[in-house]
Structure 1
Amino acid sequence: MQHFEIAVVGGGLAGSVAALALARSGRKLAFIAPASEKVDERTTALMDQSIRFLERLGVWESIAPSAAPLSIMQIIDATKRLLRAPTAQFRAMDVGLYAFGYNIPNNALTQTLDAAVAAEPNITKIEQSVETLDYSAERAAITLTGGSTITADFVVGADGRKSKTRDAAGIGTRTWSYPQSALVLNFSHTLPHGNVSTEFHTETGPFTQVPLPGLRSSLVWVVKPEEAQRLLELPSDELSRQVEDRMQSMLGKVTVEGRPQIWPLSSLMSERFGKGRLALIGEAAHAFPPIGAQGLNLSLRDVIALAELLAATGDRPIAADAGDRFNRRRRPDVMSRTFGVDVLNRSLLSDFLPVQMLRAAGLHLLGGAPPLRNLLMREGIEPGRGFRAVVDALRNEIRR
């Protein structure tokens, strides 16, 4: 029976980054992830903190050619309601950055991470699924689909919404759904995007264009499920015309590439993010709609915190309560981000006039108050960054 310091269960982007980061910290681990031929046509916008983490792992240089910088983000109220919010624009240069982050095709991320994992000597890749898990105070026993069993001092559950690692630990979840689906696609256009991402707020949800390299962009179009299905079934030229119309022809003529995908919108929150010898990351811990570029960025912050917690120090073993400590560390960030995304999405759907007034007033305040806007931009990039900037500015004033 093989024994490992850590077993990472789940081969998605979060699991791959976790395996690589923990192995680079000096831990010997098993990466349990069955082979998958599924092609993910989506893209992911990674913020500056996530990009710097990928740089430290030595994989960003290979990913960068496929990525497009997000130098400006703007929100346009495209509703037809009585109270409409003013356009709000956020510039990376206002917080001392060239770009808030980069938009990256998921396939490019996957290919680079797979190559890095395969070359890492501290990782043993096991292309099987987990059948059962048994946690004890000393270790975890994992039975695989092939019938063999391995043991590990610690388990990282990165096995998605239907997580076996979470269920085996007796950790429940809270789930809720939205009356929306996201139509996801890539498209080419005749005018340059200028590294500007534009989010149109509509009565059914956001319509978000995000730059890709060259004259290309990705799109997340949130609509009612029946409308998503209607759009999916349109001929390519008609869908392209409707995307262009919704974009107000800002990028010229639009041509949709390939076949779009539909993703129903729902959220999940685990009751705990760690327990004993288990830590939950990614969608095993939290999942919510593709709004505000939070999903994978939140998962990478899971990995950053976990790598700091489990970094090898000589022969120091992993503590039996490491999962509980991870839970305490991650709870404030995960809960605040999940709440923020939920409130933003529901505010778009609400026909309640006071809610519309608050939303419009909030965007108006951001547009007219640069210090507040910059604070929120920094917080969006990295939790605590905005408040640290305020503290540093006050210290400099005191020194003067």
Structure 2
Amino acid sequence: MADGLASASADEPVAAGEAPLSPAHTDGDIVAEIAVVGAGPTGMAAALAFAAAGIDTVLIGPPTGADPRTTALLGASADVLREIGVWQHVEAASTPLETMRLIDDTGRLVRAPEVTFHAGELDLDAFGWNVANEALNEGFATAVAAASNLLHRPVTADGFEIDAAGVTVKTARGSVRARLLVAADGARSPAREAAGLDVISWSYPQAAFVTTLSHVRSHGLASTEFHTTTGPFTLVPLAGRRSSLVWVERPERANALAALADGVLSREIERRAHSILGAMQVDGPRGVLPLSTHVARRFAGNRVALIGEAGHRIPPIGAQGLNLGLRDVRSLAALVSEETRCNGDPGKAGVLDAYDRARRTDVAGRAVGVDLLNRSLLSDFLPLQLARSVGLYAAAEFPPLRRLLMRGGLGPGALPAGRPRRPLVASGGF
């Protein structure tokens, strides 16, 4: 484990520095155990987890820009944020999700019954919490600014040099040399490309229109997902009588919705929601996101580990995006912490192979599940529609199956409130 972030030339070996680097002096070439590229929520979470374990870490990337979306933190995701010192900054801005409803609004001959899941069935207070991304990003940034063992260099990575001993990241403010590079730099990750790690990818004839709105009736802390022939139409609770909307449509339709006047758009959303929340009024910014999927063939190699969208991108169905990324962080932090506790090499092949094995099943399973659900909505193939309807009917009528599906949706590590939870890392600061 390094003793402190230290100045160094790019060709020096990665080792403990002779003197700590003051956060006020962030220019020049420096050495750390781990460099994280990408300062979105997943990258900040990883940097905070490593730093809290006492590992010298450099976070590279400009601050996250404005984001009109919200994020549903499911299962153990809120626990991860508690452990890295972020939850205290976002809890007040979060809204619990106590109920989830699935409604078949396809209008097809074969239709599924409505299915309602209650967190209490799993002895949980809530399935998770919905948080506006701007509040979430601010909470992460506050924790990063206060963290020890962590230096944030708020510039873009300009290039990477990888050799047997480590990785050098080039930036406009000097190079960063590390034994492990964690790629959190998005779906088109330059760090992933530099490591020679590729992805399997495909796209959909869909885009997600996102915004926030107020409404007359209470949502009752229930998230409601209408299944339509173009994809899900999902209302997720926010504080008060407000909700966030993810409306999956054909790309041309999504762009047309984004261009509507507020009043016209509000009435169209209310119509599509069958007025379940009464009169609605759009009260937030809008965004349109093309839908696609990619999954890395390997999640680590050549001293680079992929987390978040650098390793996987899944449509916003079932709220799997950031939740998967935080599970990446949990897995990688535990492996790296164990290795560095014994003064080992966090970027060695054994650590990266273990991380790849740990994440493969979870990510692939989520990607396949979301893909099948999405295609079952788009397809006119009757047997596929029948299979979806039978599955939802079984979920509605058989409580053991319903509980199994709920636990599966939350992901590993989701435990009832009040029960002890496993620490994020093997040692240090949690």
Q: Which range, TM-score by smaller chain?
A: over 0.9
| Corresponding residue number in structure 1 for 2:57 | 29
- Whether the aligned pair in 1 keeps the contact of 2:209 and 2:247 (CA below 8 Å) is yes
| Corresponding residue number in structure 1 for 2:143 | 116
Deviations 1:17-37 (A, max 9, x none): 11111110110011101245x
Q: List, as ranges, runs of 4+ consecutive aligned residues in structure 1 with deviation greater than 3 Å.
A: 314-317
| Structure 2 residue identity aligned to 1:97 | L
CA–CA separation in structure 2 for the residues paired with 1:362 and 1:384: 25
CA–CA separation in structure 1 for the residues paired with 2:232 and 2:79: 28
CA–CA separation in structure 2 for the residues paired with 1:281 and 1:172: 14
| Corresponding residue number in structure 2 for 1:354 | 383
- Whether the aligned pair in 2 keeps the contact of 1:274 and 1:325 (CA below 8 Å) is no
- Structure 1 residue 315: deviation in Å? 3.3
Q: How does 1:121-132 map to 2 (within 5 A)?
A: 121-132=148-159
- Whether the aligned pair in 1 keeps the contact of 2:34 and 2:57 (CA below 8 Å) is yes
- Whether the aligned pair in 1 keeps the contact of 2:68 and 2:284 (CA below 8 Å) is no
Bigger helix fraction: 1
* Residues 136-145 or 274-283, more deviating: 136-145
- Structure 1 residue 119: deviation in Å? 0.9
2:365 matches 1:336: yes
- Whether the aligned pair in 1 keeps the contact of 2:71 and 2:130 (CA below 8 Å) is yes
| Structure 2 residue identity aligned to 1:142 | V
- Structure 1 residue 316: deviation in Å? 3.5
- Whether the aligned pair in 2 keeps the contact of 1:176 and 1:267 (CA below 8 Å) is yes
Q: How does 1:186-197 map to 2 (within 5 A)?
A: 186-197=212-223
Q: What secondary structure, in the 3-state scheme, does the structure 2 residue paired with 1:259 have? A: coil
- Whether the aligned pair in 2 keeps the contact of 1:188 and 1:254 (CA below 8 Å) is yes
| Structure 2 residue identity aligned to 1:375 | L
- Whether the aligned pair in 2 keeps the contact of 1:182 and 1:264 (CA below 8 Å) is yes
| Corresponding residue number in structure 1 for 2:26 | none
- Whether the aligned pair in 2 keeps the contact of 1:282 and 1:298 (CA below 8 Å) is yes
Matched positions, count: 384
Question: Which one of the candidate residues 61, 71, 74 is aligned to 1:44?
Answer: 71
2:169 matches 1:142: yes
Deviations 1:130-168 (A, max 9, x none): 22212222111222234x322101010000011111101
Percent identity (aligned): 46
CA–CA separation in structure 1 for the residues paired with 2:118 and 2:263: 33
Gaps of 5+ in 1: 387-400
2:389 matches 1:363: no
- Whether the aligned pair in 1 keeps the contact of 2:185 and 2:310 (CA below 8 Å) is yes
Gaps of 5+ in 2: 1-8, 10-29, 416-430
CA–CA separation in structure 2 for the residues paired with 1:323 and 1:229: 41
CA–CA separation in structure 2 for the residues paired with 1:27 and 1:222: 41
Q: What secondary structure, in the 3-state scheme, does the structure 1 residue paired with 2:294 have? A: strand
| Corresponding residue number in structure 1 for 2:101 | 74
CA–CA separation in structure 1 for the residues paired with 2:312 and 2:140: 22
CA–CA separation in structure 1 for the residues paired with 2:359 and 2:221: 32
Deviations 1:223-276 (A, max 9, x none): 111111221121111110111111111111100113321111111111211114
Q: How does 1:303-318 map to 2 (within 5 A)?
A: 303-311=329-337, 312-313=340-341, 315-318=343-346
| Corresponding residue number in structure 2 for 1:104 | 131
Question: Which one of the candidate residues 374, 387, 391 is aligned to 1:345?
Answer: 374
- Structure 1 residue 314: deviation in Å? 5.3
Q: What secondary structure, in the 3-state scheme, does the structure 2 residue paired with 1:69 have? A: strand
Q: What secondary structure, in the 3-state scheme, does the structure 2 residue paired with 1:27 have? A: coil
| Structure 1 residue identity aligned to 2:54 | G
Deviations 1:269-294 (A, max 9, x none): 11211114111000000001100010
- Whether the aligned pair in 2 keeps the contact of 1:379 and 1:385 (CA below 8 Å) is no
What is the TM-score with the length of structure 1 in the denominator? 0.93
2:121 matches 1:88: no
CA–CA separation in structure 2 for the residues paired with 1:35 and 1:371: 44
Question: Which one of the candidate residues 273, 297, 301 is aligned to 2:299?
Answer: 273
Q: What secondary structure, in the 3-state scheme, does the structure 1 residue paired with 2:109 have? A: coil
- Whether the aligned pair in 2 keeps the contact of 1:50 and 1:297 (CA below 8 Å) is yes
- Taking a change above 3 Å as real, the CA distance of residues 10 and 48 of structure 1, as seen in their structure-2 partners, is same
Deviations 1:145-193 (A, max 9, x none): 34x3221010100000111111011111222110011110000011111
| Structure 1 residue identity aligned to 2:234 | T
- Whether the aligned pair in 2 keeps the contact of 1:276 and 1:324 (CA below 8 Å) is no
